[in-house]
Amino acid sequence: MSNWPTETKYISHATTRIDAPAKLTGKARYASDIQAEGWLYGMILRSKWPAAKILSINLEAALKIPGIKAAVTVKDGPRTIRFYGEELAAVAGTSKQACLDALRAIEVQAEPRHDFVVNEAEARKENAAQVWEGSPNSSKPQVRESGSVDTAFPECAAVVEGFYSTPIQIHHPMETHGNTISWTDDGVKAWASTQGISSVRDGLAGALQLNHSQVRVVTEYMGGGFGAKFGAGVEGILAAKLSKAAKAPVRLMLTRFEQALAVGNRPSSFQKIKIGATADGMLHAFEAENYGTAGIGGGGDGGGGGGGADITLPYLYKVPNSRVKQSVVAVNAGGARAFRAPGNPPASFGMESVMDDLAVKLGMDPLEFRLKNDPNPIRQREYKLGAEKFGWKQKYSKPGSSPGVVKIGVGCAAGAWPAGGGSSDTQGEAQINPDGSIEFRLGVQDIGTGTRTVIAVIAAELLGLKPEQITVKVGDTNYPPGPGSGGSTTCPSISPTVFDICQKALAQLQTQSGLADARGANWFAACKKLGVSPLVVHGKWQRGLSADRACGVQFAEVEVDTETGLVTVKKILGVHDCGLIINKLTLESQINGGIIMGMGYALYEERVMDDLSGVMLNPNFETYKLPGIADVPNIDIVLINMPERGVIGIGEPATIPTAGAIANAIANAIGVRVCSLPITPAKILAALGKVPPVTT
Amino acid sequence: MKAFEYATAHSTASARELVAGNGAYLAGGNDLLGLLKEYLVSANILVNIKSLPGLDKIERGEKHWSIGSLVTVAQIEDDMEIKKVFPGLHEAASDVASQQIRNVATVGGNLAQHSRCWYFRQRDVPCLKKNGDLCYARNGENRYHSLFTGNPCISPVVSSLATIFTSLDATAIVLRDGKEIRLSMAELYQRAWENPLAHNSLNHGDLILRVEIPTARNRSAYMQVSDKHAFDWALVSCAAAAEVVAGKLKSPRVALGSISPVPHQVEAANHFLDGKVLDAATATQAADLILKDAKPLEHNAYKMPIAHALIRRTLLKLKGTA
């Protein structure tokens, strides 16, 4: 169906990032590197109470601190605070220290409230403190039902039940949220660390009551967002206000501490699941009740879209008789935002866990059981390819049968990403100069995935040039509009757009130059015939060159020390598809990153809130634990190239199955299931019955 | 952090003089700078002690070795003779934090570091250790906390070097009020056992000069278990040392970290092991003795099986190297 070339030199091959030298030498300017003429530091004062009534905020003393040029409040007059870390005010000054001193000088008159609730189970209790006065924390369950669940369970040959939970995960991109903003009479210029320059432009314009043409957003390079960086954010609006008041550009980048509190997270899930299959191993009945929190908003998104607490069950499986109840619960803690494959990693973990348990009960190999029940032909192919490469048949044995103290286990799991297609609004342009140089300009941003390289690879392929001959400019709202980088849509949005630009450029160049084929060897001769005026070609996304719905399965092999509970992941194999592969190298990078992030979700990461004080206890990398290089195993990647489908995004699918695969490998190793992420030594030892009862 | 003055001391006398009042000694700075940035301690002057003469030396005597307080953890890790003479010390040093931290972290700083309790380190929690009214961890999130304590605070000592030094029966030589005093590891931490405000027994102005380790125990071993495989605090750490003569343990000592405000050791267990030939049953009996009076809390009882396993493994490792 797709018109992509079949014989390729660059597309589907491996090209080193064209901006690798800039990144490695420090020449690449990230949002946090920007030093605009006369810039000031900006910093935010945050609530030290999880719930409070703010009566007044007095900035006078702060403004008297030497070096402080401006101070603003988030909102004048009384207001209600609903989580620890909520923004109150901000200052701008000539040094970090001046700002820190100023924050401490701000006088906040407040009535702290002692009735707050920060954990889900507490918040669901009848007499729990209400996050929103007068309305219950828990929403009424939404029920989806098909078939006849109550009659179906008795018809099953095997039924298992479990309660699976996943924690709040924090995005923690290496570059924190923030921007440098300059607000002058000419308008606003923002250098933002964002996944969506257009959405930040629109957000700033709306909040500051400017028209869109008065706001320009630039993101040359940014250090990751994972879904949490689409909006202008409170920090963006504060930086703008400070800039206006101080008449100078203000750089306001959050600290790691602030990053943990107030700019998004993955909602938790608590999944009570019952599932049954017939004697021939076909899923027959399913019942689930799930709740989770997205923070103060209960189930709602904390900004940017896609950050809700609902998950899709029974996930990628089709069960003829199914009843699913979903509810959400509000707590006094920072709100959720879209997080790499929203809703999918928790759903995959819950479902893939219960699938393994049911396979065991049926006496079936879990992989065979999946092949019987997974309706998707691509995943069927991936499971078979993966099993062969992983050596599943040789490695799989009955749960708990591994001998000795340190036990070995294997597991697998799958993902289904419903999006990943292109945005039809994407546009771009290329300027071809008489000297043969060519520059592409797209109002998209590179969130670290290799967007520039994708553009260069496609252009080089279609124009018969080398990737390094292509100049790529992205990350500026002055360029033709591009998509926000979310939903794994960037690559399938820009690839067809670049295709269109190249087609049009060649057609026009050939007409103007009189050469029948302007590509490759003829390129420079053709360009020379342009005379003195460069050729500027505008293109847009075209149908038929991209698709959506990537699959992906992963296999994990682990070692579990049954005396200490330590889990060592020995190997992960990911088998993934994303239609036509544009650049293998950056694609594999995405999958590596997704798997490592999935490992963190499986074994280490968790927001810990304290019931009594209402604060987050681990707003740092000391106790909010992320996988380090010593924790990461060999990662093998098998790619299925499907040019006939066109381009599909991979960013999100890659992280979905990892936690389920690791959890299943652990259960296979030790013979009992740990139903709660992260799977820590403490939980392993508890599952093994080795933790003594506590009498206090 | 609050503004402070900065001075470099070139003699211990001037260091003491400069730090008097509200000063703090600065060596590697790993702990101190974090404490200052979080406003957990304040100092009007930081006294750089890295230029103090003689404190960065390792002296290798027949009866004992002396390790200067400015010797870095990386130096210990990389010293091939230490690896031979005190293998447990090498292992403990290797497990400290990350290479970058080990490169600047000093022996003195490692021993004198403050609590890592996440309530203590949380800037807005007025916990007992910060002169507040209660220990939030006791009925709260206490997964990383103590199984033993002599006071309401349950923050454990996390110095890996303190654990191995205890098993080696090392002595800290501390400059106090112009005089050198000798503190056993037990004495160096005793105050933290009794007093929730204390992290160790050092007074303001006390300066650790060196640590003396007797060479009598020719076998030593150290092991720890963390949530992660590197750059993570120990959930439990364990060190053991002894002289092994004809397969028998002589003057054995076992110490554990991260489960008590002091390096945890049980005299009865050391006594029990004395003269024994190690086997799995003996190691198990020792572990039972060492953990006998533990008081696990709601979320830290999992440390019991880890500690038990570590004691057995560390002891057997001792035997393995014999």
Whole-angstrom Cα distance, residue A30 to residue A33?
A: 5
Residues of B in contact with A628 (CB under 8 A): 228-231
Q: Are A627 and B228 an interchain contact pair (Cβ–Cβ within 8 Å)?
A: yes
The answer to whether B120 faces chain A, any CB pair under 8 Å, is no
Whose CA is closest to B101, among B72, B67, B80, B78?
B72
Q: Do A536 and A595 reside in the same domain of the chain?
A: no
Whole-angstrom Cα distance, residue B101 to residue A453?
A: 36
Chain A: residues touching B (Cβ < 8 Å):
48, 84, 97, 100, 563-566, 568, 603-604, 608, 610-613, 615, 617-618, 622-623, 625, 627-631, 680-682, 685-686, 690-694, 696
Average pLDDT on B238-247 reads 94
Whole-angstrom Cα distance, residue B260 to residue B159?
A: 11
* B1, B118, B158, B299, best to mutate vs chain A, most A CBs in 10 Å: B118
| pLDDT value of position A307 | 74
The answer to whether B284 faces chain A, any CB pair under 8 Å, is no
The answer to whether B309 faces chain A, any CB pair under 8 Å, is yes
Whose CA is closest to B147, among B310, B317, B318, B314?
B310
| pLDDT value of position A18 | 97
Spans of chain A below 50 pLDDT: none
Identify the three-state secondary structure at position A79: strand
Q: Do B104 and B18 reside in the same domain of the chain?
A: no
Which CATH number characterizes residue A247's domain? 3.30.365.10
Choosing from A519, A540, A561, the residue where a domain stops is A540
* B1, B147, B228, best to mutate vs chain A, most A CBs in 10 Å: B228
In sequence order, the 6+-apart residues with CB closer than 8 A to the CB of B303 are B147, B235, B236, B258, B259, B296
Q: Do A426 and A415 reside in the same domain of the chain?
A: no
Residues of A in contact with B230 (CB under 8 A): 628-631
Q: How many residues does chain A have?
A: 696
Q: Do B109 and B186 reside in the same domain of the chain?
A: yes
In a domain, B121, yes or no: no
In total, the C-beta contacts within 8 angstroms joining chain A to chain B are 99
Q: Do A244 and A309 reside in the same domain of the chain?
A: no
In a domain, A5, yes or no: no
In a domain, B75, yes or no: yes
Whole-angstrom Cα distance, residue A128 to residue B169?
A: 53
List, as one string, the DSSP characters of B38-71: TTSS--SEEEE-TT-TTTT-EEE-SSEEEEETT-
| pLDDT value of position A299 | 67
Distance from the Cα of residue A114 to its chain's centroid: 34
Do residues B243 and B216 touch, judged by C-beta distance below 8 A? yes
The answer to whether B13 faces chain A, any CB pair under 8 Å, is no
Whole-angstrom Cα distance, residue B140 to residue B119?
A: 10
- Tokens (6 digits) for B185: 């590891």
Choosing from A515, A540, A565, the residue where a domain stops is A540
| pLDDT value of position A172 | 98
The answer to whether B65 faces chain A, any CB pair under 8 Å, is no
Q: Are A613 and B230 an interchain contact pair (Cβ–Cβ within 8 Å)?
A: no
Which of A566, A613, A631 lies at the smallest CB-CB distance from B125? A613
In a domain, B138, yes or no: no
Q: Do B263 and B179 reside in the same domain of the chain?
A: yes
Which CATH number characterizes residue B47's domain? 3.30.43.10
Q: Which of A286-300, B151-165, B257-271 has the lowest mean pLDDT?
A: A286-300
| pLDDT value of position A297 | 82
CB atoms within 10 A of CB B156: 31
Q: What percent of chain B has pLDDT over 70?
A: 99
Choosing from B9, B29, B52, the residue where a domain stops is B52
Which CATH number characterizes residue B100's domain? 3.30.390.50
Q: Directed axis angle between helix B280-291 and helix B303-320, to 10°? A: 140
The answer to whether B60 faces chain A, any CB pair under 8 Å, is no
Choosing from A211, A227, A253, the residue where a domain stops is A253
Q: Do A316 and A440 reside in the same domain of the chain?
A: no
Q: Do B40 and B96 reside in the same domain of the chain?
A: no
In a domain, B261, yes or no: yes
Domain containing A627 equals 269-419+548-687
Whole-angstrom Cα distance, residue A397 to residue A387?
A: 14
In a domain, B184, yes or no: yes
Q: What percent of chain A has pLDDT over 70?
A: 99
Average confidence score pLDDT of chain B = 97
Question: Would you place residue B224 in the very low, low, confident or very high pLDDT band (cuts 50, 70, 90)?
Answer: very high
Q: Do B87 and B227 reside in the same domain of the chain?
A: yes
Q: Do B65 and B39 reside in the same domain of the chain?
A: no
Q: Do A296 and A364 reside in the same domain of the chain?
A: yes
In a domain, B164, yes or no: yes
* B119, B144, B306, B312, best to mutate vs chain A, most A CBs in 10 Å: B306
Q: Do B97 and B47 reside in the same domain of the chain?
A: no
A188 bridge partner residues: A183, A215
Average pLDDT on B111-127 reads 98
Do residues A56 and A89 touch, judged by C-beta distance below 8 A? no
Min distance B233 CA to chain A CA atoms (Å) = 8
In a domain, A156, yes or no: no
Q: Do B278 and B164 reside in the same domain of the chain?
A: yes
Domain containing B88 equals 58-113+154-320
Q: Do B31 and B70 reside in the same domain of the chain?
A: no
Q: Do A291 and A390 reside in the same domain of the chain?
A: yes
Pairing type for strands A269-277 and A567-577 reads: unpaired
Do residues B72 and B148 touch, judged by C-beta distance below 8 A? no
Q: Are B296 and A692 an interchain contact pair (Cβ–Cβ within 8 Å)?
A: yes
| pLDDT value of position B171 | 98
Which of B1, B118, B296 lies at the smallest CB-CB distance from A623? B118
Interface of B with A in 219-258 (CB under 8 A): 225, 227-233, 235
Which of A97, A563, A608 lies at the smallest CB-CB distance from B309? A563
- The torsion angles phi and psi of B69, rounded to 5 degrees, stand at -70, -20
The answer to whether B298 faces chain A, any CB pair under 8 Å, is yes
In a domain, B31, yes or no: yes
* A97, A564, A629, best to mutate vs chain B, most B CBs in 10 Å: A564
Which of B121, B225, B301 lies at the smallest CB-CB distance from A681? B225
Q: Do B34 and B158 reside in the same domain of the chain?
A: no
- The structural domain count of chain A equals 3
Do residues A175 and A193 touch, judged by C-beta distance below 8 A? yes
In a domain, A523, yes or no: yes
In a domain, B271, yes or no: yes
Q: Do A77 and A99 reside in the same domain of the chain?
A: yes
CB atoms within 10 A of CB A245: 16
Identify the three-state secondary structure at position B167: helix
- The structural domain count of chain B equals 2
Choosing from B52, B74, B94, the residue where a domain stops is B52
Q: Do A280 and A195 reside in the same domain of the chain?
A: no
| pLDDT value of position A302 | 64
Q: What confidence tens digit (pLDDT) does each residue in A619-668 have?
A: 999 999 999 999 999 999 999 999 999 999 999 999 999 999 999 999 99
Q: Do A599 and A488 reside in the same domain of the chain?
A: no
Residues of A in contact with B229 (CB under 8 A): 568, 628, 630-631
Q: Do B168 and B74 reside in the same domain of the chain?
A: yes
Q: Do A88 and A197 reside in the same domain of the chain?
A: yes
| pLDDT value of position A300 | 67
Whose CA is closest to A423, among A335, A504, A487?
A487
Q: Do A413 and A449 reside in the same domain of the chain?
A: no
Average pLDDT on B18-32 reads 97
In a domain, A127, yes or no: no
Q: Are B230 and A629 an interchain contact pair (Cβ–Cβ within 8 Å)?
A: yes
In a domain, A258, yes or no: no
Q: Do A205 and A101 reside in the same domain of the chain?
A: yes
